[in-house]
Chains A and B, each alone.
Chain A
């Protein structure tokens, strides 16, 4: 089983739609979680951290489910500019080497 798994998509949605992505992780001791956005031929950029209590930033909501070992990203009122690949990142427990694990990304295409 891969350490971090994401549905590669693409998710093809109309403007204004609500779309959700999930990301599952295998290491139950994982400590911190992030969503990154990567535009075509660009570097990944941090979208938001994922906290145990869930967190919201404008149209974006991230949630963590430790019992089922997954994190989610919900995008409301999708914009054309939301089209990108969304990478899930899981950090291991503290101590020892600190190597984040990246999912392969979920592609989102928002169309008019």
Chain B
């Protein structure tokens, strides 16, 4: 089945630790995105990538890093510089750069700080 997978479903981070959230898609989509959602809030864009080996900062990139070495993979690292990382992290993809295509979301990862 085609789709987007995220792992793990739940992730616990200790103070000062970097953690990496996985996002994989087999939809052959060019564009991929990372969002953060806090309780009762909307989605805020962290990073996005419209093509392999290229990515751009979103509205709240500080304390996060990404890579896009393969078309199907867009991992997000939450670094120790992110002081309030507890949130629901959603990865999404869309078919092509530009245009009017909709986005498809993975099931999300919940990050909690110990």
Q: Which residues on A are within 8 Å of B, measured CB to CB?
A: 8, 31-32, 34, 41-46, 49, 87, 89, 91, 94-100, 102-105
Contacts and interface: CB of A to CB of B under 8 A. Distances in A.
Contacts of B98: 94-96, 98
A100 B103 contact: yes
Contacts of B94: 98
Interface string B18-61: 00000000000001000100001111010010100000101000
Contact of B42 (A31, A45, A87): A87
Contacts of B100: 31-32, 91, 94
Given A43-B90, A44-B90, A104-B42, A49 B105 contact: no
Contacts of B41: 104
Given A43-B105, A45-B105, A46-B104, 10 more contacts: A34-B102, A44-B105, A89-B103, A91-B100, A94-B98, A94-B99, A97-B48, A97-B50, A97-B56, A102-B43
B17 interface: no
Contact of B45 (A49, A96, A99, A105): A99
Contacts of B106: 43
Contacts of A103: 42
A67 B4 CA distance: 37
A89 B45 CA distance: 13
Contacts of B82: none
B99 A46 contact: no
Given A43-B90, A43-B108, A98-B50, A49 B42 contact: no
